[in-house]
Structure 1
Amino acid sequence: MIRIDAGGSMGIDFSYEFYVHRRDADVFLAEVAKLCDPELSRLTTILLPSGTSMTMPGTYGFIGDRAIELEVAAADRMGRSFDLSLSFPVDGPLRDYDDEEPGPRVTVGYIYLSVSDDHTILPDHLRFDFMPATTGQSRLFLMSPSVRETFATLALTTGTTLCLLDTEMASHIVVTALGQRLSTRVPGPLLLWSRQVKAAEAFRELSSLLAGNPVHPPKWIIGPAHPDFPAFVESLADYAKVPPDRWLAP
């Protein structure tokens, strides 16, 4: 059985953000298509900047069987997205979410994939956002090891420059950056990205840290030793209604 949740009252809107260079957009979307439910009958053709096209299982703006230019979708300010159902290897949280789907994988939908032409952090990059339809799915984005690992692997195998988990708090969780795993294990340690600064400045600090030249004291990239870290953990646990030990460990 495929469980499809089509929105409704949205209390928590967590999302995974992928910053992908334009030249890698076709590779990225091809890997996303591999994660989609193959049984979906409604398809969308995506016309890529390279001049080629690909087929994505799912709809765009809940309309299927049509062609969408990726660059047009990136410039769309109407809030439309690709409406997908993604399949993840089963783990404890996913089995609790859907205990009726047999087999080694659980399909979660809808997950909305939006694309924007975002130069606030990196020039010539597109930002792809995966946002689930419901609060329960958002909690999976935080506490499912399988979901975190799937998105981290997607980032690392497609040349994604930066992958963040937006938890609607003052800081994002940095999942991967510049080809490196950072906050990928669940439960595991977190590295945070403060939203209280221009994004390009935070990226420079993160790049310096990964190059072995950390800023002292750190300003915008927050680890467990940072004075703002405990408050983030407390706020996120209270907001998500998920105990820290489900997603955070030393």
Structure 2
Amino acid sequence: MTSLRLIWTECWESELKGVRKKMDYYLNEYSLRGQFNDLDEFYTSLREYTLPVLKKVREGNGNIIWKRDTFWQSEICNGVSLGNIPQKKNERSGEYAAFKIQLTKLAREGPFWENTEDEKIRVKEYYFDLEYCEKFDTVNCFSKAVETEGKIISFLHQAYGEEKLSVRVQYLNREEEYKIDNIFTPHWWDKEAEIRTWRIGQKYMIEIRANEFDFHPPHFHVSSNEFSAVFKLSDGKLYAGGKKRWHPQMISEIEEWYRVHKEELKEAWDNLHGNL
């Protein structure tokens, strides 16, 4: 039998720039709450910040942008929401009409995240947007990002001008601080990415991420189309599966790949987290 090591095309990637593959992104419903003086100011922020961010995210193969199903109600300015943007007539009418079409599609079309709370992991405290966080719903974009280790996309807002949003998370009977990536400018991709990635041919992507919960054992993420799972670094065994059940053959393929590459994986973990 031909070894998988011989038939797989393998490559090591250190993503210094670019967009993560197969990542969950969540539109921040609290970053659009009437902070703009008028539509012109809002459209300027779209042109320079939000739309370039969305474009960059969509360039990633398999990235998903989630939102609340009532996101279209978000207020822009003076009672104007995403769902009732008036038509403007001036020298930029064509551009504004294009913005309106994009915003309508963004706000009203799925996918929408489910309004259900994970029983194992919960956000206990927010360390940002302190004047407003008491109004956060129990299930929100931040709690969803924590559940899936996803990222937040924010509109331009003074409360969301930091690249990391700190929360206190309870996992079963333990609590710890966790930082959610918050993207509000296309310059976010100018910094060095906190991830190391391998590919196994065209079938699998392997990732070790810097931003992880300490209460999980050292591990690596594996994705393949609609499949995703986490495997332990200690022995390469399946630690947690995604929504779609993995076939035993797929698990065996990852375990065999792990046996060949475990030292590389552990070295990458050490570089991002410190020694095992």
Given the two structures, how large is their TM-score scaled by the length of structure 1? 0.31
Please say which structure displays the higher CA radius of gyration: 2
